[in-house]
Amino acid sequence: MSTFYFIAFLSIFFSILVISAKNPVHSILYLILTFFTFTIHYILLNAQFLAIVNFIVYMGAILVLFLYTLMLINLNKESEPVKPFMVKIAGVFGGGILAVALASSLKLVAASNPVILKNPDLGLVKNLGKVLFNEFLLPFEVSSVLLLSAMVGAVLLATKDPKTA
């Protein structure tokens, strides 16, 4: 039980560091740590398939893509422009109000029951694969079309225009 609270504290701590770090490279490294704590959350919930997918897709693919783009875009020349102080205060205030509203709306619902894993192999690959290929077969196939179109779109957008190059 205390493991959850420790990891939750680490998640919040690293995600605050993500948005407050001056250097964007540091932000990405803190984001990797945040996603690692999310992986531990999935393991604690015994969602092993999601833990592995989170580890490979998010930490392995997406964040490496972020780092690559950041290295491609040379930001070292100029320091990052910062927003005015009042705008920052207003942003933090608005986000804080959102958090307080969400948290206080929790008070209205009935007392929460503890999260109990009724079926221990709920999040295993065998069980999820059966659900994925029975009930969600059409969305699964459509998502492959989405990934293909995203790939074509990314290549089209990122290649240099032959007229200007």
Q: List the interface residues with other proteins, window 78-107 (CB under 8 A).
A: 78, 80-83, 87-88, 90-92, 94-96, 98-99, 102-103, 106
**Could you identify the residue written with the tokens 């032959």?**
162
Residue 6 interacting with other proteins (CB under 8 A): no
Residue 58 · residue 45 · CB < 8 Å: no
Does residue 137 bind other proteins (CB under 8 A)?
no
Binder of other proteins out of 28, 33, 52, 55 (CB under 8 A): 28
Contact between 111 and 36 under an 8 Å Cβ cutoff? The reply is no
Q: 59, 55, 11, 54: which is closest to 32 by C-alpha?
A: 59
Shortest distance (Å) from residue 92 CB to other proteins: 6
3-class SS of residue 150: helix
The one among 76, 86, 108, 116 contacting other proteins by CB under 8 A: 116
Angle of CA points 157, 66, 155, to nearest 5°: 20
Rule CB under 8 A: choose which of 108, 157, 162, 163 binds other proteins: 157
**Minimal distance, residue 68 CB to other proteins, in Å:** 8
| Sequence-separated (6 or more) residues with CB below 8 Å from residue 107 | none
Exactly one of 118, 138, 141, 163 binds other proteins (CB under 8 A); which one?
A: 118
Instruction: Give yes or no for residue 50 binding other proteins (CB under 8 A).
Output: yes
